[in-house]
Each structure stands twice: as structure tokens, then as C-alpha cells.
Chains A and B, each alone.
Chain A
Amino acid sequence: MAINLKVQLAPKNKRGLLLTNPVMTASGTFGYGMEYEHLFDIQKLGAIVCKGTTFEPREGNPQPRIVETASGMLNSIGWQNIGVEALIREKAPVWAKWQVPVIVNIAGKTVEEYGQLAARLDGVPGISGIEVNISCPNVKAGGVEFGADARSAAKVTAVVRKATALPVIMKLTPTTSDIVGIAKAVAEAGADVVCLINTLKGMAIDVKTRRPVLGNVFGGLSGPAIKPVALAMVYQVADAVDIPIIGCGGIATATDALEFIMAGATAVEIGTANFWNPRATLDILEGIEKFLRKEKIKDIRKLIGIARLKS
């Protein structure tokens, strides 16, 4: 039985963002893709989202930056990256030869900086889309403050939209009481896709030293622990917007991924699972295909949002 796994993430965008399958990597957990090239055939993936990129190179936060928690982890990396110019010079030319589309995740200190980043990446060969991080809990200026309310989220979206013809994914924070309102606002402001969710703000304390474990005090919680939160948000937002959704948060198995798709996600991003299982993305892709075969479903798109109860 021939099975269709292809999904279109940006149907309203001229260039579109057609993935051969819905399995993507989450920013910050898969580097620039090259690092995993020798481990498995990364060209089989739906898309690769690279590490969050800022205008200037950034050093990131003080150590320690990582703590394991119950069914998850906290990170406070804080945007350490090589900067957009090095990315264009060193990484994009490699991506240009790849089959798998690469999406560049960007983060700015100001609204203008988001626009400048998007403009700089526009038209660079090897880059198939932009994912806008307005949801990072690990930096003082920028990040989550833009994602926390609908008005500022829409403002960043509009600026990026104006600066590039590339498909634009807005990556939202779960740290809000109004995820639906924010998703609607960014969709109206011109986003092609919304990605739900980034990490949740959290912390850990070392009772022996009586100090916070992380050098930055707070970090972002990811991994299986956040899956139910992410799933609920995808489910809610799927009812409210008519642009595609990428589900992200705690996805570690094909079943997890299928839950997100059934809740309304068109594609999924895999993050923390890559750390304990470097082949997680491929395992999930193979698992989805197996499920479709077993259930005799010819097209993955038939499952998108299928779990949603009609009101």
C-alpha cells in the first residue's frame, strides 16, 4: 500500500513548505544537523530546525546550564550561538546541498532585530523557512516577553512577515493564560505556521548548597513531563486558527507524535528525546509509517485533528 506522509506547512505562502513527512527536529537539540549526519540518514526527516540564532554571536548563560528533573530536564543555555553571519557563511552552503529543508530559528532583543534577522536570511540558499522564537525563558531581554501577550506577539510577527518571503513559523510560549488569543493574533499578523510549545519556566534548588542549581537560577522545562500541557494547547489552538500547527513538547515515541497529529498538528518537532535517543526522529518516523500501514490509513493528513470533538 502506498502511503502519503507528505504535509504542506505553509499553503498560503508562495514558496510553500512541503515536508516529505511530518517529523522535524526542535531547535537547540539537533545543532545544525551536520552533527548527526554520520549517525543516520538525516535526509529522511521532514525538516531540521537549527539552533536559535541571534544577530551577534552570543556566549550564553553561566554554568550549570542543565538539570535533569522528573521525566524532563531544565536548560538555561541562553541563546549561545554563532550569530547570523557565521550561519550564512558556514552552515547555509552545506544545507543548500541537502534534500531535507532547513528552518532557521531566530531570536532578537528588540522587535526591530527580529525584522533585521529575517531580512538577512531572506533569499539565502539553503534556508527554507524561519521559526521565530518569542518564547525563550532563558534570556533577560527579548525572548518570552514578546510571546507573553497577543499584542507584542503580533507586532513581532508583522515585522518578520514584512521582512521576508520565506515561510514564517511563530513559536509560542506556554507561559501565558491566553494561548488561543496569541495564536489567533500571530495568524492574523501573517504567520504561516504556529509551533506549540517552547519550554516552561522552572527551577531546581540544591539543598546541600542551599542555592539554585542553574547558574541562571531559572531554566526551561522540556521532555515527557510537558507533553500533556503541549497537547492540550495544540488541541485548543487547532480549533481557533486555520493555519497549520507544529506540535512540540515531550514527544519521544511515534504514539506521542500521533497524539499531537490527532489533536490538530500538521507536523511535530522532537527535542529532548534526541538526547537519550539520538535516533529518536527516525524511530518516530518509522513508527508513524508502521501505524498507518497497520491501520490501513493511506494518508497522514486524514489523521490531522481527528481526535477533536465537534461542539
Chain B
Amino acid sequence: MKQVASVISRNEEVIPGIFQTWLKAPELAKGARPGQFVMVRCGKDTVLRRPLSVHRLDGDKLALLFQVKGKGTKWLSHCQKGDKLDVFGLMGNGFKIAPRVKNLLLVAGGIGIAPLYYLAESALSAGKRVTLLLGAATAKQMYPVSLLPSGLEPVLATEDGSAGHKGMVTDLLPEYATSADQIFACGPLPMLRYMAIGQKKLGIKDKPSQISLEMRMGCGVGVCYGCTIRTKNGLKQVCKDGPVFSLDEVIWDDFIRC
């Protein structure tokens, strides 16, 4: 883990409200694994760093993809090429692709595409077949299909039906899960909980599934216990033991208030 003064080489609004920021950060880009994240200092007016996933890698550069939500991400969206960004990472364990599997199914709800992009790229270069179920509220809020890695097979869903299937991205699971050897998902908590509770109905009961969890964080290194969740294997720190967990392991009833 290192605290790095990275330099922003590009910051652009990919779709309204969602920004892609490329950072020159050789110390972090080296050895970053899909599913890991960094803690970003979003200006002097913030007390807590913001956790953001590794979205893409390119040589000594690392990209973040984030949705403007509040104070921190708003500040970050205003950063410009050449600005310095204080980044602390890499945190967490990342996704694990089982060595012998062939078909991966990725499920991205909204900004959940952020860590799955890099996972897809890695899996494709390892010769896996990757299908991506990509969901958003509307076509306008959908991550542009043209920017997805080539070789990836995307299937779209929007809540208003303006692109692809009309409904939730998880509606697509029963059809696409059958041919999947392993499932990876990232998205809002209700989506993940829905997958966990509806495993049978969605046809993913016997599929090994990994999810990336979001929890409010203080330290990012496992010392503050701000991000603790209960799992079937005891208490876990999302920052240190996660953010990737197996779908079965998490005790989902705990998140009704989150």
C-alpha cells in the first residue's frame, strides 16, 4: 500500500454525471488486480477519503470511473489534466477467476461497471468468454457500448426500456446464467441483495458468484472497523477482506437500513 501523488492525465465526462479520470501512477498501476480499489483524497474540505475501484489500466496509468454523488465526487469531477491527486492504494482482495472456467457472466448495475471493466479485460486476455449484462435507468445513463473492450458480449437492460430489455438487469439472469461457469456482479446494494435472496428463481443457485460490496469507509486499511459486515465466516472488513465476497457468504438481512 502506498500514498501516491498521482497526476491527472485526462478527466472527461463519459456520460452525464459519470466521469473517467486517468491518473499517472506507476506505483499503483503496477500489479493492480481487478476488484481492488483506491482511497482518493477529494480536496482539503473532506475528512474521509473516497473509495473508488480500479476501472482500467494502461501501462503506468490507472483509470477511475465515478458517478457524481456528493461533495467528494463533485470535487473530483472538476479536476483537470495536470492536477495532482492524492491516492492511497491499492486496497482489497479483488475478484478471483477460477483457473479452469471458460464462460464468465458479469452483471453491472449502473456505475457497477467500474470494476467489472478491468475484470472483463483481464478475463478476455486470458482467453475466457465474457458476457456482460449491463443495466442502467435509461439509455442516456448507460455506459457507452462502443467503449467496452472488444470481444465482450454485452446485453443491455434499462428500467424505461429505452435500450435493450425493459426492466432490471437481473431479469436477464435466468436466460444467461445457464451457460455461465462463474458470475461476477457489482451494483447497488438492493440489486446484490435481490440476487442473493432470489438465487433459485434467477437460476444462479449453483453458480459460484462473487460480488463487490460498497460500505462507508474511514481508513481503508482495516483499522477503524467502519466497514465491518457480518458474514457466514465471521466478521469481515470490506476494505481489507473484501470488497469482493462470495454472494453466499454475506448476511444480507443486515443491509435493510443501508
Residues of A participating in the B interface, judged by any CB pair closer than 8 Å:
28-32, 35-36, 38-39, 51, 59-60, 62-69, 71-73, 75, 77, 80-81, 211, 215, 223-224, 272, 274-279
Contacts and interface: CB of A to CB of B under 8 A. Distances in A.
Q: Can you list the 7 inter-chain pairs with the closest CB atoms, starting with the nearest?
A: A31-B223, A66-B226, A80-B225, A66-B216, A77-B225, A68-B48, A35-B223
Contacts, number: 103
Given A32-B223, A35-B222, 10 more contacts: A28-B225, A29-B224, A31-B221, A31-B222, A63-B258, A64-B215, A65-B226, A65-B227, A75-B224, A80-B235
Contacts of A35: 221-223
B81 interface: no
A67 B215 CA distance: 11
A263 B135 CA distance: 57
Nearest to B229: A63
Contacts of B255: 63
A193 B107 CA distance: 55
Contact of A66 (B1, B217, B229): B217
Contacts of A65: 216, 225-228
B189 to A, nearest CB: 10
B175 interface: no
B218 A63 contact: no
Contacts of B257: 62-64, 211, 215
Given A29-B223, A275-B218, A63 B47 contact: no
Contacts of B230: 59
Given A29-B219, A66-B218, A67-B216, A73 B48 contact: yes
B258 A30 contact: no
A275 B216 contact: no
A54 B3 CA distance: 32
24 contacts: A28-B223, A29-B223, A39-B2, A59-B228, A60-B225, A63-B215, A63-B254, A64-B215, A65-B225, A65-B226, A66-B216, A68-B46, A68-B71, A69-B47, A75-B218, A75-B224, A77-B224, A77-B228, A80-B225, A274-B219, A275-B219, A275-B220, A276-B47, A279-B3
B41 interface: yes
Contact of A272 (B47, B71, B222): B47
Interface size on B, as a range, is 20 to 34
Contacts of A275: 47-49, 218-220, 224
B255 to A, nearest CB: 7
B95 interface: no
B22 interface: no
Contacts of A63: 215-216, 228-229, 254-255, 257-258
B143 interface: no
B110 to A, nearest CB: 17
B66 interface: no
Given A63-B258, A65-B228, A276-B41, A39 B3 contact: yes
A65 B224 CA distance: 10
Contact of A223 (B47, B88, B216, B226): B47
A276 B48 contact: yes
B228 A66 contact: no
A68 B48 CA distance: 7
A276 B40 CA distance: 9
Interface in B226-258: 226-230, 235, 254-255, 257-258
B258 to A, nearest CB: 5
Contact of A30 (B48, B223, B225, B226): B223
A67 to B, nearest CB: 7
Most buried by A among B216, B219, B221, B225: B225
A45 to B, nearest CB: 15
A36 B223 CA distance: 9
B258 A64 contact: yes
Given A278-B3, A279-B3, A62 B254 contact: yes
